[in-house]
Amino acid sequence: MRIWDVNPKKLCNKHLVAEHGELHSLWSVIINNKKGFSRHPETTRWRGKLKALYERHEQLVKEVKRRGYNHSSPLNKKQASGKLKQDEFVNTKVEQRIILKHKDCDCPL
Kindly list the domain boundaries of the chain, sorted by start residue: 8-101
pLDDT 10s digits, 30-85: 999 999 999 999 999 999 999 999 999 999 999 999 999 999 999 999 999 999 99
pTM for the model stands at 0.95
* Residues facing 49 on adjacent strands: 82
The answer to whether the CB of 65 falls within 8 A of the CB of 99 is no
Distance CA 39, CA 70 (A): 32
Residue 27: band (very low, low, confident or very high) from pLDDT cuts 50, 70, 90: very high
Long-range contacts, 92-98 (Cβ 8 Å, 24+): 93/5, 93/6, 96/4, 96/5, 96/6, 97/6, 97/10
Residue 109: band (very low, low, confident or very high) from pLDDT cuts 50, 70, 90: confident
Q: What is residue 16's predicted lDDT score, i.e. its pLDDT?
A: 98
